[in-house]
Amino acid sequence: MTGLRLAPARRARLPALLPALLVAALLATAAAQDRPLDPRVFDIGRELRCPTCVAESVGESNAAIAREMRALIQEQLDAGADRREVLGFFQERYGDWILLNPPMRGMNLLVWLLPVAGAVVGLLVLARLLQRWRRAAEIPVDVDSAELDRVRTEMQDQLGDGAVR
């Protein structure tokens, strides 16, 4: 651990600087917390997954990390970054996982393509079934004449003579 010790001159100046540093840090923190956030912060936040939450975005979550991330987004917007650059900043650190709209490449393509493929397959199956049902309805049913007579007799018995022709 000895390799990280500070030079004596630098250490001597530190006690004098500490109160000023503390006040500056407190003021900066208070200013950052009091300031209302740009609506764009929430728009961008809604595209980012909150790292410590379940099924919540940075834009919606009240978790401490989400609040810090929103403050960071505000700082980046203030510095002139656009939406794509802000999303890229978080993507570089967390990977594609952080994006609630995963980019259309690699395995992520499945997320986009599977629902479309599912819908297409579903429509094809439905079309095939409808075709089969229609064809089945068109084919005349070959009924045995003895069986037809039996049904006719039973219906006459139940409904009366005029009901069945």
* Alpha helices (H) in 1-144, listed in sequence order: 8-34, 39-45, 64-78, 83-94, 108-138
Shorter beta-carbon distance to other proteins: residue 46 or 150: 46
Minimum distance between the CB of residue 60 and other proteins, rounded to whole angstroms? 17
CB 99 within 8 A of CB 87: yes
Shorter beta-carbon distance to other proteins: residue 72 or 164: 72
* C-alpha to C-alpha distance for 83 and 75, rounded to whole angstroms: 12
Shorter beta-carbon distance to other proteins: residue 141 or 146: 141
Cβ-based neighbour number of residue 81 at 10 Å: 16
- Quote the DSSP letter at residue 14: H
Shorter beta-carbon distance to other proteins: residue 94 or 133: 94
* C-alpha to C-alpha distance for 91 and 101, rounded to whole angstroms: 12
Minimum distance between the CB of residue 6 and other proteins, rounded to whole angstroms? 4
Minimum distance between the CB of residue 11 and other proteins, rounded to whole angstroms? 6
Shorter beta-carbon distance to other proteins: residue 55 or 146: 55
Minimum distance between the CB of residue 150 and other proteins, rounded to whole angstroms? 25
Site residues, other proteins (CB under 8 A): 1, 3-6, 10-11, 14, 18, 29, 51-52, 54, 64-65, 68-69, 71-72, 90, 92-95, 97-98
* C-alpha to C-alpha distance for 86 and 80, rounded to whole angstroms: 10
* C-alpha to C-alpha distance for 88 and 96, rounded to whole angstroms: 10
